[in-house]
Amino acid sequence: MHFTVAQLGRDCDEFTLHIYASLAEQERKMISERCKAAAAISKQKGRKFGLQLRSKAWQRQVSALGRAALVQEAEERAQAYRHTIEWALRQPGRDGGLIFYRGAAHALNERQIESPTGRRWQGHAIQRMARRLHLDHPPGYLKDHVVLGRVQDIWQEHPECNALQLVARMGAAHALGLHRAYGFLKRTRCAAA
């Protein structure tokens, strides 16, 4: 295949083309550096660029439109994966109980089902998609302040309960480990004393 450059004619060899291409690439880099330097100097002098030239109301409107587009894209992506997420959340968890989001991700990864990003599934990604799809699935891990509030409520009703009874009273929807239950029960008793 012969490459013809109008400015150089038909008899231009590959070496000459390579030199001209290298010079053009170097010139592009130099132009880019000069433009960046000029923009930096202008910014230091207080000149505004792009969105900053518009009013604050217009900037907020553009930002809101951008966020809305991202939310809509995420909603559509979640809808495309609805059957996958529902299947994963129906799988049995440990001891036949509810599956946690991390366990659901593990189930999808075992079946080699790709995530929307083409990577492995993560529990937090499944949790976000389940929220977008309005799937009622309890979180696998409760935050400390939520657990502490529930432990305090249970302890006020049943001050004689131990850690094992506390785990049973918390329910299967939010399984609480025995070690963690003991720690929260201890904190509640110390705070009350």
Which pLDDT value is given to residue 136?
Answer: 79
Counting Cα atoms < 13 Å in the Cβ hemisphere of 80 gives: 9
Those residues with Cβ within 8 angstroms of residue 64's Cβ, 6 or more apart along the chain or in another chain: none
Beta strands in 49-166 (DSSP E): none
Q: Which conformational region is residue 61 in: left (phi greater than 0), alpha (psi within -120 to 50 degrees), or beta?
A: alpha
Residue 114 is classified by DSSP as P
pLDDT tens profile 9-29? 777 788 888 898 899 999 999
Which pLDDT value is given to residue 144?
Answer: 79
pTM: 0.52
CB 100 within 8 A of CB 123: yes
pLDDT tens profile 42-97? 989 988 888 888 889 999 999 999 999 999 999 999 999 999 999 999 888 776 67
Distance CA 151, CA 143 (A): 12
Residue 172 pLDDT more than 60? no
